[in-house]
Amino acid sequence: MKVFLVDLDNTLYPKDLGVFDLVDKRISEYMIKFLGMKRDEVPRKRIEYWHTYGTTMAGLMKHYNINPYHFLEYTHDVDLSGKIKPNPKLRDKLKSINAVKVVFTNAPLKHAQRVLEMLNVIDLFVDIFDIISADFIGKPHRYPYQKIVKLTKAEGYLMADDMDSNLKTAKELGMFTIHVGNLDGVGHLNVETFENIPNDVVNRL
């Protein structure tokens, strides 16, 4: 069995739709509203936490003891109407790739389900491995990758993501990597959109 780990945001749909920008804004709002940070210190804190812990949430859990469930609910409470629509080409591409498909995301389950339903591809994935499944330890930390491998015990793994840091960890663990959205990325394959993944390459792995 071959397992295809597929990132969600900015991977299954283009970054320029601005979906993650909405989440990004809510993260900054959370830090100001609930933690009393000054607006001008938020960007520095977020960069510091991202580099040190992999995600802003991990840094806030470490230094502010936040409730991760509340953080995820607040930051992903965004209006996606008009931004994400059913994508027949994406659906055809997913169906054509011979692998068991699992969403692997740092987002919470509800957000992932909503996006997949709006894209009309949720039925093509056997599972969603979200940040809660990963015990709130997000990519690019090795822990969630190792947990997925332990759960699935597949013969081989492919992974598609829009971030170099996430793919570097996958590479270190022996996975075949596909960078979506950057033709100069670190992936074994680099494609502009998910729909551009060449079947002749991934299906012979």
Q: What is the pLDDT of residues 30-71, one digit of tens each?
A: 999 999 999 999 999 999 998 899 899 999 999 999 999 999
* pLDDT of amino acid 54: 86
| Pairing assessment for the beta strands 100-104 and 2-6 based on DSSP bridges | parallel
* pLDDT of amino acid 177: 98
The DSSP code sequence of the chain is -EEEEE--TTTTS-GGG-HHHHHHHHHHHHHHHHH---GGGHHHHHHHHHHHHSSHHHHHHHHH---HHHHHHHHT----TTT----HHHHHHHHHS-SEEEEE-SS-HHHHHHHHHHHT-GGG-SEEE-TTTTTT--TTSHHHHHHHHHHH--SEEEEEES-HHHHHHHHHTT-EEEEES-TTSSSSEEESSGGG--HHHHTT-
97 and 189 belong to one structural domain: yes
* pLDDT of amino acid 18: 94
189 and 131 belong to one structural domain: yes
69 and 91 belong to one structural domain: no
* pLDDT of amino acid 132: 97
CATH code (residue 71):
1.10.150.450
Task: Give the domain extent around 118.
Answer: 2-16+86-202
Ranges of residues in the chain with a pLDDT under 70 are none
96 and 196 belong to one structural domain: yes
Please write the tens of the pLDDT for every residue from 12-32. Answer: 999 999 998 999 999 999 999
- At residue 104, φ and ψ (nearest 5 deg) are -125, 100
Handedness of CA 177, 178, 183, 188 (dihedral sign): positive
93 and 189 belong to one structural domain: yes
CATH code (residue 153):
3.40.50.1000
62 and 91 belong to one structural domain: no
